[in-house]
Amino acid sequence: MLALTIIAGTAGCAKRDTQVRYPTPPYHPWRITAIDPTNHRGTYLANGFMGMRIGREGFGCHKGEPQTCLLVGAYGDEQLVQAPRWSYAAFSTGRAWFPSDPSALPAPPPMPQEAFSRPVNQEDTGPRLDNYRQVLDMLSGTVITHYRWTERRRALTFDVTAFASRAGFRNLCVLQWRITPSYTGQLACVLPLGGSPLNGYATTSASQNGDLQLVSAVPSHGRQLAVAALTQIDGSWSPAAPPRRPVRGEALYAVTVRVTKGQPVTITRWVMASIQGAAGLYPMPATSLLAALRAARQRGFEAALRDHAAAMRTLWNSDIVIDGSPRDQQAVRASLFYLLQSMAPAGPQSPLGGDSVAPMGLSSQAWGGHIFWDADMWMLPVADLLHPDLATGIVAYRFGTLKAARENAAREGMAGASYPTESAGTGRELAPDKFPKERHNTGDVAFAQWRHYLATGDRSFLANRAFPILSATADYWVSRVTYNAARDRYEVHDVVPPDETAGEVNNDVYTNAVARENLRAAIAAARILDRPANPKWRAVADRIYIPFDPALHRYVEHDGFSPGRRKLKQADAQLLIFPLRVPMSAKVAANTLDYYASITSPHGPAMTSSIQAVAACKLGRRQQAYSFFRNCYEPFARPYFSYFSEKPTTDNCCFLTGCAGVVTAVLYGFAGLDFGEHGLTAHPLLPPSWSGLQIRGIHNRGRLYDLTVKADGTFTLKERAEGPAINRAGGPPAARQNGRLQ
């Protein structure tokens, strides 16, 4: 029998026995513990390529409902399709199924006892869960679950381990159930692969020893998808009789295991997937997938978990350490953990060059799994500082869809390239109704490409990938603007701003400002590369209208702006302070921040408070910045695992854009990190309740740095290896010198 192992906040491995010991909740820096199976929203695990929702049961089921499995870039008809379901399972003592309502499952296989089926309902005197503990270990990237399920005097004690491996090519998921019965007899097990609501998946091989493989073509751009699953059982077992009520489209692996009271039986499910040309692709044909999976199984569960844990520890070489607030520490680390789950480097074989990150990553099919500006303007800034290798998928996706962006512009009657509000496998516009008019997305894409160059200093990327985007999008703005001769300025008419509740407006301040940044970046890139620049780029950049109220000393959201009783959906004018970094006086920044913060809806998406936190830090407002920061996550985190919801009033999880905002508030706000053509700088400003802050493993232009900030404001920004340290005294932010390293 395989012994389970767990990495629990240290570099070593510890044996896990039946009586699992768990940390005391709620604010351990690496582990989050759930102790109540009823007040529970679940979590998810992924590795940038494969993702699976994990429910209270510890695998692909939550309160009896099967959970989704997703693969990056698996778009069918421009919608992210659910992968064949590999993480679900059901077990029967012969008297009831656990964990699902039997109406959705086959009846228990014939047993000596009379078959009896009923739903699991914790409110009645029948089936129940007790002795419940579930731990998300962020350091090792595992979910470990322990509980006892009892039904009509028969009980099963479960210890379940789940992980999506970050080792190798990141196309392996493993689930292991260690089940200890309170009786001697038989245990029925059903592990499906596929199933409703899926269509188009065909079983190409299925054997009685648990080897299953499904292959399908993803229709939107012909990428072949393959999934293989192996099941390993350590006890005496035999194939079960065919289920009496099979689920349509389900490839079922059903067995009956002979069990002995008090003696655990271990069932391990091994899964691999492959998508032709996807990021993280294991370079093999679908016919070789089972062979590779058998090789992984031959190495064993402990070896797979050990390799995965080592890869996770490598990821955590870039980390944020907060002293003085365990609550904030856990929230920031959980946000970074979820963000990393769905990020992968660019795949050299991908038709698009890379796969970007949807707002929900690999946790949900919300919004069809489409790509928004969330990836470019919210997630990329975090990756650029901490994991530039994972950032490459985001920027490569935009280069891979440049042709589609040119076609979008042509359909608008414009020159250059126009990036869509929503896109998927082809890069064409998929947004409904008025939302294709959110033309700020074109500037967002260009701005992100330029920032990625500034972060990496990669001239090859600038020349071959970024500049084609920068020049094409700059040409778009030259054709998109309207010249106002009476006022000698260029304007942008008929757009939907980030504050979408405003509708269609003229001269949205953020759209115009990001267009200007797009034009200026194209000019700067042409200078660096010694390439010709369209003279119209500068003419438009110098005269594009940025709405501003000189009497009130603040930026105006758009022409005719008058919110009245309407609350703003999310940040718009405030985005000029960050991430655009538009130069402005402290008075203008303060007035812009304070006014729009006062009229922004508290029920909007988690895309505003992080911007406000960074802006308050730039103004030296410690307490206000900290209040905004707490509002970044407190209304959105769902029990138990800080599972991030899009809005305070919903449970739309896991919203990675909000997770990125939490981390951004620390990196660019309290740490005060920033970078440009001259390298990395820091202007830290700690909240009153923090006694220290460390940012470990900051990447900039091929160098690696660590930032240490003390409560008195002094800080050290040090290059690793032989790099020198720069120490600067604290003081008012405006007077503090940069801790710059070049």
Say what the pLDDT of residue 121 is: 42
How much is the pLDDT for 8?
Answer: 20
Please report, for residues 70, 173, 281, 283, 603, the alpha-carbon distance to residue 289 in angstroms, rounded to integers and kept in the order given.
18, 13, 12, 10, 46
State the pLDDT at residue 375.
Answer: 97
> What whole-number distance in Å separates Cα of residue 550 and Cα of residue 311?
54
Residues shown for the chain: 742
- Helix ranges, 118-174 (H): none
282 plus 417 within the same structural domain: no
660-710 pLDDT tens trace: 999 999 999 999 999 998 899 999 999 999 999 999 999 999 999 999 999
Cβ distance 35 to 24 under 8 Å?
no
Identify the domain boundary among 507, 541, 566: 566
Peptide bond into 99 cis (omega under 30): yes
pLDDT for the residue numbered 415? 98
Q: How confident is the model at residue 84 (pLDDT cuts 50, 70, 90)?
A: confident
pLDDT higher than threshold 80 for residue 190: yes
Strand partners, 726: 717
CA 227 – CA 51 distance, rounded (Å): 13
What pLDDT score was predicted for residue 727?
45
Average pLDDT (596-615) is 94
How sure is the predictor about 396, in pLDDT bands with cuts at 50, 70 and 90? very high
296 and 410, same domain (yes or no): no
- Name the domain boundary from 279, 296, 312: 312
Taking every pair of C-alpha atoms in the chain, what is the biggest distance, in angstroms?
Answer: 91
Kindly report the CATH number assigned to the domain that includes residue 529.
Answer: 1.50.10.10
Which of 65, 407, 412, 500 does the annotation list as catalytic? 500
CA dist 627 and 665 (Å) reads: 11
CA 29 to CA 668: how far, in whole Å? 22
**Shared-domain flag, residues 284 and 417:** no
The per-residue DSSP string of 444-496 comes to HHHHHHHHHHHHH--HHHIIIIIHHHHHHHHHHHHHH-EEETTTTEEE--SB-
Report whether 111 contacts 188 (CB < 8 A): yes
Q: Mean pLDDT of all residues in the chain?
A: 84
Identified catalytic residue from 646, 677, 719, 722: 646
Percent with pLDDT over 90 in the chain: 62
Closest by CA position to 409, among listed 466, 468, 476: 476
Give residue 736's pLDDT: 35
Element spanning 390, H or E: helix 388-400
Does residue 7 carry a pLDDT above 50? no
Inform me whether the pLDDT recorded for 231 exceeds 90.
no
What is the CATH number for 129?
A: 2.70.98.40
pLDDT at 606 over 70: yes
Looking at residue 103, what is its pLDDT? 41
- Check pLDDT > 90 for residue 45: yes
Is residue 332, in this structure, part of any structural domain at all? no
550 occurs within a structural domain: yes
Instruction: Provide the percentage of residues in the chain whose pLDDT is more than 70.
Output: 81
Cα 52 from Cα 174, distance rounded (Å): 11
- Average the pLDDT over 343-355 and give the result: 70
* pLDDT greater than 60 at residue 637: yes
Is 726's pLDDT higher than 60? no
List pLDDT tens digits, range 436-476.
999 999 999 999 999 999 999 999 999 999 999 999 999 99
Q: Do 439 and 297 share a structural domain?
A: no
Is the pLDDT score of 506 beyond 90? yes
Residue 154 resides in a domain: yes
What per-residue confidence (pLDDT) applies to 338?
96
Do 300 and 408 lie in a common domain? no
Which burial class, exposed, middle or buried, applies to 84 when counting CB atoms under 10 A from its CB (0-12, 13-18, 19+)? Answer: buried
Report whether the peptide linkage leading into residue 242 is cis, meaning its omega lies within 30 degrees of zero: no
pLDDT single digits (tens) 191-204: 877 654 444 555 45
Kindly give, in sequence order, each residue whose CB lies less than 8 Å from that of residue 377, ignoring residues fewer than 6 positions away.
444, 447, 448, 579
What's the pLDDT score for residue 436?
95
Q: How high is the pLDDT of residue 117? A: 34
Instruction: Report the DSSP pairing between strands 692-700 and 703-710.
Output: antiparallel
Quick check: is 646 catalytic?
A: yes
- Tally of CB atoms within 10 A around 295: 9
Domain count, the chain: 2
CA distances from 574 to 287, 509, 582, 591, 669 (A): 53, 10, 10, 10, 14
Q: Are 71 and 85 in contact (CB under 8 A)?
A: no
Whole-angstrom distance, CA of residue 488 vs CA of residue 376: 32
How remote is the C-alpha of 374 from its chain's centroid?
A: 10
Q: What is the pLDDT of residues 277-330, one digit of tens each?
A: 655 555 456 667 888 888 899 999 999 999 999 999 999 999 999 999 999 999
Q: Residue 169: is it exposed, middle or buried by C-beta count within 10 angstroms (0-12/13-18/19+)?
A: middle
Residue 734 in this model has a pLDDT that exceeds 70: no
Stated pTM of the model: 0.89
On whether residue 594 sits in a domain, the answer given is no
Residue 14's SS3 state is: strand
Helix (H, G, I), strand (E, B) or coil at 715: strand
Tell me which residue range forms the domain holding 216. Answer: 5-312
The alpha carbons of the chain give a radius of gyration, in whole angstroms, of 27
Would you say residue 46 lies in a domain? Answer: yes
Q: Do 148 and 26 belong together in one domain?
A: yes
What is the average pLDDT across 508-513?
Answer: 98
User: What is the tens place of the pLDDT at every residue in 234-272?
Assistant: 876 665 554 444 444 456 677 888 899 999 999 999 999
What distance in Å separates the CA atoms of residue 677 and residue 414, rounded to the nearest whole number?
32
Secondary structure in 3-state letters for 410-446: HHHCCCCCCCCCCECCCCCCCCCCCHHHCCHHHHHHH
- Give the helix/strand (H/E) hosting 398: helix 388-400
The type of residue at 662 is: V
Burial of 722 (0-12, 13-18, 19+ CB in 10 A): exposed
Q: DSSP per residue over 209-257, as a string?
A: TS-EEEEEEETTTTEEEEEEEEEEE-S-EEEPPPPSSPPTTEEEEEEEE
Tell whether 694 is covered by a domain. Answer: no
Predicted pLDDT of residue 105? 45
Predicted local distance difference test score (pLDDT) of residue 18: 34
Average pLDDT over residues 601-616: 94
For the residues of 264-332, what is the DSSP string, one character each?
-EEEEEEEEEEETT-TT--SS-GGGHHHHHHHHHHH-HHHHHHHHHHHHHHHTTSEEEEES-HHHHHHH
Query: From CA 369, how far away is CA 371, in angstroms rounded?
Result: 7
On whether residue 719 sits in a domain, the answer given is no
* pLDDT of 69 higher than 80: yes
Residue type, 702: G
Q: Residue holding tokens 């508290």?
A: 602
273 Rama sector, left if φ>0, alpha if ψ -120 to 50, beta otherwise: beta
Please report whether residue 293 resides in a domain.
Answer: yes
The pLDDT of residue 218: 54
Last residue of a domain, one of 527, 546, 566: 566
Lowest mean pLDDT among 200-209, 474-483, 708-717: 200-209
pLDDT digits (tens, 9 = 90+) for 527-584: 999 999 999 999 999 999 999 999 999 999 999 998 887 889 999 999 999 999 999 9
> HEC string of 23-56?
CCCCCCCCEEEECCCCCCCCEEEECCCEEEEECC
Do 296 and 413 belong to one domain? no
Section 27-50 average pLDDT: 90
Question: Minimum mean pLDDT among 115-129, 176-190, 254-268: which range?
Answer: 115-129
Q: Does residue 401 register a pLDDT over 80? A: yes
Two structure tokens written together for 543: 């005269």
Type of residue at 595? Y
